[in-house]
Each structure stands twice: as C-alpha cells, then as structure tokens.
Structure 1
C-alpha cells in the first residue's frame, strides 16, 4: 500500500538517504516500513538499528506501528528521542567524562533556580539580567557545542569556577557575565552530579569524541541510523548523528555494498521538510537538511509529494504561501482527495465579535452538519485571546477544553514532591535539597540555609554532606532542632527508598506522608489547595502506572521519564 516514491524510499540501498517528506505524505509509514525492510531484506539485527524522533509521542507511535509490522522484536530496538537515547548512553558510559550513573536531569525550572542562585551570589541585578535570558544564551552556546572553558578563555580569562567574591570588570559587559555564569553553572552541575537538557546532547558528543573505546562500541553497534524531523536538528544534534554513525572516522563506505556491514560508517536515513522548519528560535539549523547532499556526496534524495491528509484547496493555499520562502527545494504537494470546501475568511471589528462568530459557527456545524465537538479546534495566537473565546462558548452553552496552561510537572506542589525524590536519588543535588529545606514550612529560613552552605563551601562538599555533619556546626538551639528533624526525615526516607527502590509509587506515598506535603494541603482552607492535593495523588498514580509498564522499574528510572516528559 505504498505509492511509487514511498516504495523507492523504503527499498533504497545506500549509505545516505534524504526523504523530503511534505506534510501528511506518510513519512511515519515510510520510516517504519524501511526499518522492517532493513531487517528482512538487508539481514540486520534489531539491535543494530537506532531510530530517532523528536517527541516522546512520535517515538511511542513509531514503536507501536513497528510492533504491528514486525512483532515483539520491535521492543529490542532503540526507538527514542535524541534526549532519551543520550540518557541511555550517558548512564552506561558517562563515568569516563565524570558523570556517575545516578545523575539528575534538571528541567528548565531547576536550571533557572540554579542560575538565579549563582547570579545573586555575584550581586547581579536579576531583574536586569533575568535567569531565563542568561539560560537562553547558555543554551545557544551549548547547541553550538561551545564549551564553557573556551568561552571563558575569550571573555573572562581571570575567572576560575568556584571562585568567591569575583568582581566584573566593566559594568554591562554581557559576554563576560554570560561566560562567568556559564562556567560557574557547569561547575555547580558537576558538583551536583547533574546535567541539563542541552548537556544530554553535548556531553554525549564529548564522550564519543574523547573515549575511543565507547565511540568504537556505538559505531559497531548502530549500523542503521534513521532520523525523523531532520529539519529541526540543531548543530549539536547534527554532530551527534555524525559521531554515532562514525562518518568522520576516516573509514570509507564500501561502494555498492548491499548493506551496512561491520566496516565503514553506518547507513543514515533522514526524513524532513525544510518547509516545516519552525524551531530556529530553539537553535534548529535548517542548513542541516539543505546541505545534506554536500555532507554526503553520494546521497540520494527522494521527494514525497502526495498528501493523504488535506484537500487540494488547503494544499493550494499552503503551496502559495510557502513558495515565497527563499532557498527551498521546490516541491508541489498534491492529493487525490479532491478539491474540498473553500477556506472562509471573516474579519471582525473586535475580539468579542470575533469570538461570537466562532462560537456561532461551531454551533451551526454541530447542529446542521452533525460534526462532533471533538473534531473541532480553535487556535489562537496569544494566551490573552482565550478569555473572549471562552466567554463566547460559555454564553452559547458549548462544551470546550482549554489545552495548555501550567504544565503538570511545572506546578509548584509537583516540583516540591519531585525535589524530595531527586534529593533521595542523588544526595549531591544541592538545588533540589535547598528547595525543600523549608517545604512545608519548618522554620528553616535563609540563615539556616546560609550556615549549611558556608560549611559545604568551606569543606568543598555538598549541601547534603553539611546537613549530615550538622553536629560539627555551631547553630542556635532552635534552628539546630529543626535542622536535626529535617536531617532525620531525609535519613529515614533514604532508608525507605533503598528498601523499596523497585516500587516508586510506594516511595512517592511515603514522601508525601512523612514530609508533611500532603498534610499541609489537607488542612488548608484555600479551595485551590484541593486541586493541588489531586495533583499529588495524580503523581502517585503516574508512578504506579510506570511501575506496571516497566519491568525493571526504579525510582531513578521514574524520575528520568518525568524529566524527559516535562520538557
């Protein structure tokens, strides 16, 4: 059931293939069939295939489709996002670049918190230099594989990570500020045995470049690499694919070889569409797809132009808009689905009138044309626009679901519970331990935190170490009593965690109970706290679900999935 171009892409034998897949042209079908073809016709083993997608959802869909095509062996293949694949590699081999296998993965909120701590210590005005903007800059450097050492050498060579009381030379020298905070941020991450999202890619590239034995293992292992949504890759991801494939090792592919044997680089298939590149603001580099044929001089390009999703009217409009893009490979999407309904444009005088028209049109489509509410969607440009649309839907008595809002894993109560769990898995993780020192409130403010911090700095150790050596520190009696109670709580939870590691849901329940997080919300009269309680129960259910679906479940594996999903 493939059209001629799809069939050609599935069966192509050669080291480099670019599939230019227009929207709705059946690219997932082609990718899954190509994997099945590689297994059945090229004689590859499931373990020799690495399929990379951009989202967890796409990975799950591909795994499911592969299961239907080739059966249970699909479970033995690496079908995952860039980040998930890198976590697996770093957990297995990261020790050679200084990462212990229990490392924490910081999501954007954890990273912002750490940058805020560092910026405050340097007496920077965090209203002027916001943690988010500093992190954005650090992220750009990481996506281009610019390490903190080389960046520091150029912009602030007189700074050493861990240095106290450093003064910036010129006020407002942004590059120096970014360079110093980047260096200190990486230093703190290393002390905490933690990585952030960009590090997952960058540190894996570093590992493959600096440890020949590890690089050799993965070159030998992955003989077929397939990458989806290639137009969204950034420079670091592009280099990662080349490193995993062994493209730059100097070993040449054997011309005319019927498959990717043990010698030479892996065979690479990339699927993408430069017309769908929308992530430049996150570092995606469209040149990766545009220059694919220069990167691989013997590359084959196959265009998929038949669309199975839309009517010709929609495609004509889309083609007309995108044809204005510069430097694109010409392609014309077409469909066998017929012309379809015309596109309707409506210009209203104000937001209320616009919302009223939308609500009335939905009511008409539902009543007169029998279209289900669940088959209709309203898209708006800015969050502020949702209010007038919601009001219009309420006034016309129509059911709706608002998609978005604060994401589950970013909610305060969830972040608090996860911080406890992270601190139990990785005691060196200062950011999460400091977050929960006084959550729920137990009379441990900035002074108590400062005392422990000073001891940790003085002895070059972690915050957790300072807490465990509390008896060597002079603190006022009341503070000491509260700190001891917290220390004993963390000690007891640590013991419970070690004894129940394969039951994350039981650990979550124990943490919610013993920490007082649940009790604090239960006695609150604030109606919002009732939904916060529900969220904590949901976290416990998520852990239980993870347990059922994961044969060798552990708390750290559960935290890894929440970190990868959260971002």
Structure 2
C-alpha cells in the first residue's frame, strides 16, 4: 500500500535560486507554482502530482520573499499535513530559518489553535477538552437517559450523526429546534440542547464544535478576523472538494474574501471527479462554484497522469465523462503500452472470489523473477460495501494468500457480527459467560448492569454458570420485579431456539442458516440496527444490516459444505468436527461452524516480511495507489449502490467512487461482476453495473465466465441505439467459450431512447401499481427493472409485463 506519490519524481533538496524549484515540473505544474497572487483554482487530476506542486509552491513563495509565518496550508489528515511539512523541509534543505512560523495543519487542528488563542471571545476556557467519538457517545447516552428516552429507540450514535449534520450546516441547538417540525427532529433537538449544555458544564467541545465555534468566532468578531487576515496572507487548501459548509466559511473568512483592492491570495487544490464524501457533509459545490465565490479566479488544469497506464487512464476518463456535475479536463499520460482493463463476469460471489484469486496469482507469477515483479503488498482488492469482503477473505485464506483489512475491521470482528456470533456461542455452549455478558442486554431488554451484576455475584459465590443461575428462581431471590421478568423472558427465548437444550421439537429451526437468521431476528439485533439505520441514514448503519445478511449467507454456505462431507470417508478431511451419535445434528453443525470461525480469528499472523494484499472499501482507497487492483461487485445495487438510485447527484457520486477506484491502479486492473449474488442466504439474479457499459471499447477485455449459466444473456443482447453489444474477438472466439475474450463494440447509455419506457419514466403495472424505470434492456428478451412504490424493485419481461406509461 503506497501513499499517492509520483514514483518517477522523487523530491530532492533544491537550495539556491527559486528557479531551481521549477526543475522537473511540467509546464502546467510550473504555472501552478508561480501563480502566487489572487485566487487560484488548481484542478488536479488523479495521479497528476498535486502534492509535489503544493510543496514546491510553498517553497517558491518563501524564496520569493514571503515570510513563512504568513503562509497557511490546510489539509484533512494529520498524516498528510506531516508529510507536506517534511517535504517542504526537504526542498528547502532543512533550513529552520526558511520555515520558521510556517503553518501546515488540518482544519480541526487549526480551529483548536484559534479557539485556545481566542477562548474568551469564543465563550470557552483555554483548557477546554476535546471529546472524541467515544466520549460523545457516553455523554449522549447520559443525556438521553436524563430525558427518560430509550437508547434502543434513540441510539446515541445515530442521534449524534443528526447533530453533526446540523453543526456542519452551522446550526446551533436552538436554531435546529426552531426548524424542527416532526416528532423525530423535535426529539433530536431536545437531546441536542441537553448535549450542548452537558458539554459546556464539562468544559468540553466535540470535533464538530471546533469548526462551528471557529466559524462563528471569525464571523462575529471583527478583531479576531482582522488578526487572522493580517497573519496569514497566503492560504492554500488541499483536497478542497472534500470541504463542508463550515470549512468553506472558515476558509473564506481567513482569506479575507473579496476585500476591496485586496483580492485574497487563496489557492485551492482538488478534483471534483474525486468528490466522494457527500454522505458525510462534503459539498462539491464549494469547488465547482469557486470561481463565483472568488471573482477573478485563475484556473490551472493538471491533466497529465504519472501513475496509470494509458488503458487504465482512458477507462477512467471515459467513465467520468458521463457525469454532468464536473469541471471538464482531459486526462492523459506520456506512458506508452500497458495491459487492457480486464472485466470478468462470474457465476456467483464464490466463483468471483476464486477468479480474482487466480488473477492475483497470475499477476504475481508472470514477472516473479524480474525487476518489474508485483508483490502481494503492491496489490489491492476494493469493494463498495464491507459486506462483500467475507467471501473474498475466505478465498484468500483457502489459497494461503496473505491479506490485511485496511481502515476497517475483518468481517468476523465487526461489532454487529460479533454480537450475532455471541448469541450463537451461548446457544452452542450455555457455560460461555463472556458471550452471555455481551448479549444479555444487547439490545436493551431490562437486564441492566445492576441486575446482571447480582446474577454474576451469585454465580461466583455458588460456583455455578451464570445462565444456570438465571434459570434458578431461588438463586435469583435478590432480583425481583421487572428485572426478574426480563431474565425469565431472556431464558425462554434461548430455550425456544434450542428446544430447552435438546435441539428437538417443532419450534427448533431445521438448519444452520435458519437458526442464524431466526436468532438475528428474534434477539432484536435486526430491529436495533434497522432503527439506527432509519434514524441516521448513514452508510455505516445500513451496512450493519448487510453484514448480518452476509452472516446468514456464510452459515448457509458452511451448511452445504458440511453436508457434502457426510460420506464417512471424507470425515476430518479438513479438521472440522463431525457429529457424534449423542450430539443433535443441528448442535454439531453449529459447533463446527463456530469452530471454523474461531480458527479464522486465531490464524497465525501474516509475516510482515512477506507482505499482504490489502482489502478495503472504495472510500478508504482514496489517496492511495497500487500496482495491481481488483474491484469486485460491479452490479446494479452494489456499485452503483441501490440507495444511489434516488437522485442524479447520488448516482454521479457513485460514478466518482468508481473513478477513484480505477485511478488507484498503476499497471493492472481487474473489474468483476457476478450474475448471482447471495443476499440473506438466497441467490439473487443481478444486473451488471452500468459503469461497465460506459467503459471504452479499445481499453477493455471482457471474459464471460458465467456463460454456462447464460450469464450475459441480458447484457450481451442489448439492442441498437440503447447500449453495448458484445462480440467475440477473432483470436479468442474458437475453442473455449467460457474463456472467450470479448470487447465492447460501442459505448452507450442504459435505456434506449427508442424504448417506450426509457430510464426515468414512470409506468403503471396492473398488480404492482406505479413505479420508476431504473434500468432497461432491449433485444428478444427485453426487460425493465422498475422501483415500485411500496412494493420494491422488480425486473419484468416487457413482452408480458402489461406496462403503461404514466404521462
């Protein structure tokens, strides 16, 4: 895993004349470095060397006689800020006199500095504490309890997400309350008000307050604002496409926006095509409308890419041109040659994972003894949501390929998955006190810490398992009233799942996947995470539900593999426990499943000397680069995500996310799509992502591995004027149709204009009612995918659908 760099342009010490600082830069880069006065917008395409330009620009300003203390450079992460400072020091020969007073920092660090410096004016004490997310959650939980609200109905993290959105829009608690007109927002407003009072009482601020209070300080205090304007004459902001409204306001106030006769010396660097954080408050309009915000802005395009090969870059550039909300620029590279982008269509997610593993092995082996060999650590696998990692992890482990999860948690270590597994462990082993303590009040069911503490004390005093004490009414003499009733209901729930421990009876699930699904549902886990997702609307909360569904799929797959080994000759072939005569089959299956998970968690650590493939979400991949990249799950509903169908803006952000993933690849790129993907234990037919259709013919090779199941029957047969028709390339069309390479014969949009039901049209179905067409295919078996109101998404064969278009 590499930070975004330009390998061929290593930073060297450049002392002496300022002209030396321009050596090794392209004409566009030199112009960006030398344009020092007035507002400047640098549109830096992926891999165009923007970090190099920023550091050289700072050094150039200093060489031009600008005092270093009058330069302020702002970015988004401490790591990026530290790297920028170090690179400036290197360029200036580590001369402390040349960098004395230079400020290179993050937005939040800058705001903390200003609030401490002007604490009294901001209504704070200089020693204020900064609460992290854990502190915030604890405080919010206490406020919710004080308001006599349930944290099950009002999860602290979901409420804090709503509060954060308000703060980033520069709304305080009272302003938010004034705008609240429904039950949910009015209740959040009460929590918001109590939360802010508690913060003030504690002498603390949270991360959002750092931005809000600084913006209000600069806006409302002319003296403070003037001091900042006079101190920092040159403002430079990196990754400007990721700024939110509060950060936009802070930047404009520090820059001294539009002072008469003194245009602000503000330089922002960014790429609207890499704006992928709208879901957390970033506003792409800040960079798209920069010229309107700062009249007289000079715009410089950095279009030359130093990272990717020509086919990869052309694929990315062609894809992103389908977006409307962007700044046009031409991406190009001086690098010649390079492998075409490989696109593989698999039968299902397991087949997809196996194909990716085979591809990674082939990439590693093809140049293993040459200087240009690609090591495991130089490879990555990207996906839209974390739930897609489980099958990929299983395949990598089976192939003994080392991997690591970057900026995330391995599937079985995720909170919601661990909670579900804890239930399974208690069912399989009632003496497992650690797992019991995790689930006994998750979700909340009236068995609080005081009640459970008494039970644990009794168990310890009597030397008996905790669950055994919970079943013994005499031993529970100190627990009375609602607490005792809640304990009784909890024990009864466990007994319902297991037939009182016998795993026999009509009420006991018949299979492992059914058991897992029922526990997730009846334990209240599903309802708890669904409530959180509904309240916050955040991707993280929605993905918790996806991960629980994936756990059901994992159990179903294990169950099928376990049954396949029922032949006594195959017993213990993989070290898994087989059922004994005395053990109920379902219990034996459950224990074997849990053992397989435990073996995953207890696997030997990857040898760091060997290196490991990196698995991560597309969001986490931003700013990185790898020599070989595989992006899995390119299907409608995955990428673009199903939630992105609600608006053109969301769809364009999904396309930008795909663009970011593609432009992380330096030499090799592999995109995959599955004809079937298992959702909640049930295989569902999918539609290949529209983004695959938007790739250029001459940069892509298609391999149809799903052909045996008619995998591309819809996608291949798209009609004239409405999409892509696939045709075999002559040199591959002979013997093995499953390995046949296919190339695009054109580039088109989903939904032919000649279709009576184009994408976006509203139609009526006699059974399902009205709905919006979100995808259309043509040809002999033309189908329409329609999102019906109150019914959900359906894919219908047009010949039999009896659709009418609503005018």
TM-score bracket relative to the smaller structure:
0.5 to 0.7
**CA separation in 1, counterparts of 2:213 and 2:263?**
22
Which of 77, 93, 105 aligns to 1:55? It is 77
Match of 1:348 in 2: 346
Other-structure match for 2:158: 133
Mapped to 2, the partners of 1:111 and 1:122 lie a distance apart of 17
Cα gap change, 1:393/1:151 in structure 2, threshold over 3 Å: closer, same or farther? closer
1:84 aligns with 2:84: no
* Counterparts of 1:411 and 1:66, CA distance in 2: 40
Is contact 2:42-2:269 (8 Å) kept?
yes
Higher mean C-alpha deviation, range 207-216 or range 83-92: 207-216
CA contact (8 A) 1:63 1:75 kept: no
2:41 to 3, 8, 18: 18
Which position in structure 2 is the counterpart of 1:390?
Answer: 393
Q: Distance in 2 between matches of 1:31 and 1:330?
A: 22
1:385 deviates by 2.9
Q: Distance in 1 between matches of 2:381 and 2:351?
A: 15
Alignment of 1:37-76 (within 5 A): 37-41=60-64, 43-70=65-92, 71=94, 72=96, 73-74=98-99, 76=101
1:344 alignment partner, SS class: strand
27, 35, 38: which one pairs with 2:58?
Answer: 35
Quote the residue 1:557 is aligned against: none
Structure ranking higher on relative contact order (CA contacts 8 Å, 6+ apart): 1
CA distance in 2, matches of 1:312, 1:117: 56
* Runs of 4 or more above 6 Å deviation: 444-447
Partner-residue secondary structure (3-state), 1:379: strand
- CA displacement at 1:368 relative to structure 2: 2.9
Match of 1:9 among 32, 35, 40: 32
1:152 deviation in Å?
Answer: 2.8
The gaps in structure 1 that reach 5 residues or longer are: 157-171, 254-263, 413-443, 448-526, 532-567
Please state if 1:185 is matched with 2:195.
Answer: yes
- Evaluate the alpha carbon distance shift between residue 364 and residue 382 of structure 1 in structure 2; reply closer, same or farther with a 3 A threshold: same
Q: Do residues 124 (structure 1) and 168 (structure 2) align? A: no
More helix by proportion, 1 or 2?
A: 1
The 8 Å contact of residues 39 and 263 in structure 2, kept in 1 or not, is answered as: no
Aligned to 1:51, the other structure's residue is in SS state strand
| Contact 1:91 1:102 survives alignment (8 Å) | yes
Distance 1:223 1:399 in 2: 50
CA shift digits 1:442-475 (9 cap, x unpaired): xx9779xxxxxxxxxxxxxxxxxxxxxxxxxxxx
Q: Is the 8 A contact 2:115 2:122 kept in 1?
A: no
Per-residue CA deviations over 1:509-566 (Å, capped at 9, x if unaligned) read xxxxxxxxxxxxxxxxxx99xx9xxxxxxxxxxxxxxxxxxxxxxxxxxxxxxxxxxx
Partners of 2:36 and 2:61 within 8 A in 1: no
- Does residue 399 (structure 1) correspond to residue 402 (structure 2)? The answer is yes
Distance in structure 1 (CA, Å) of the matches to 2:214 and 2:105: 15
User: Aligned partners of 1:335 and 1:21: how far apart in 2?
Assistant: 14
1:376 and 2:386 equivalent? no
Shift of 1:395: 2.1
Equivalence map 1:278-427=2 (5 Å): 278-370=276-368, 371-406=374-409
- Is 1:274 matched up with 2:299? no
Q: How does 1:535-550 map to 2 (within 5 A)?
A: none
Once residues 264 and 295 of structure 2 are traced to their aligned partners in structure 1, the CA distance between those partners, rounded to angstroms, is 15
Deviation of the 1:100 alpha carbon? 1.5
Q: 1:28 to 1:309 in 2, by over 3 A?
A: same
User: Which residue among 254, 260, 277 is the counterpart of 1:252?
Assistant: 260
Pairs aligned (count): 390
User: Could you tell me which residue of structure 2 aligns to residue 99 of structure 1?
Assistant: 124
Change (3 A) 1:206 1:24: same
Corresponding residue for residue 512 of structure 1: none
Question: Are residue 143 (structure 1) and residue 162 (structure 2) matched?
Answer: no
User: What is the distance in 2 between the residues matched to 1:318 and 1:265?
Assistant: 36
Task: Render the CA deviation track for 1:400-435: whole Å, top value 9, x for unaligned.
Answer: 22324459xx999xxxxxxxxxxxxxxxxxxxxxxx
State the distance in 1 between where 2:204 and 2:405 align: 35
Cα deviation, residue 265, structure 1: 5.8
Helix, strand or coil: the match of 2:141? helix
C-alpha contact (below 8 Å) 1:229/1:272 kept by paired residues: yes
Please point out which of 206, 225, 235 is paired with 1:215.
225
Structure of greater Rg? 2
Q: In structure 2, the residue corresponding to 1:285 is in which secondary structure? A: coil
1:176 aligns with 2:186: yes
Question: Secondary structure of 2:213's partner?
Answer: helix
Deviations 1:105-142 (A, max 9, x none): 11222212222221222222332332222212111111
Matches of 1:381 and 1:206 in 2, distance apart? 37
Partner of 1:563: none
Q: Does 1:228 align with 2:243?
A: no
Which moves more between the two structures, 302-311 or 179-188? 179-188
Question: In the aligned structure 2, how far is the partner of 1:119 from the partner of 1:411?
Answer: 25
Asked whether 1:110 is paired with 2:135, we answer yes
What secondary structure is seen at the aligned counterpart in 2 of 1:347? strand
**3-state secondary structure, aligned to 1:401:** strand
Q: Tell me, yes or no, if the aligned pair for 1:222 and 1:266 is still in contact at 8 Å.
A: no
For the 8 Å contact 1:32–1:66, the answer to whether it is kept is: yes
Distance 1:34 1:362 in 2: 40
Task: Give me the whole-angstrom Cα distance separating, in 2, the residues matched to 1:309 and 1:155.
Answer: 49
Alpha-carbon distance in structure 2 between the residues aligned to 1:279 and 1:364: 34
1:461-493 C-alpha deviation (Å, 9 max, x unpaired): xxxxxxxxxxxxxxxxxxxxxxxxxxxxxxxxx
Greater percentage in strand: 2
The structural deviation recorded for 1:75 is: 6.1
| CA RMSD across the alignment | 2.6
After superposition, the Cα gap between the structure-2 partners of 1:381 and 1:267, relative to the gap in structure 1 and judged at 3 Å, is same
SS in 1 for 2:347: coil
Task: Out of 120-129 and 318-327, give the one that drifted further.
Answer: 120-129
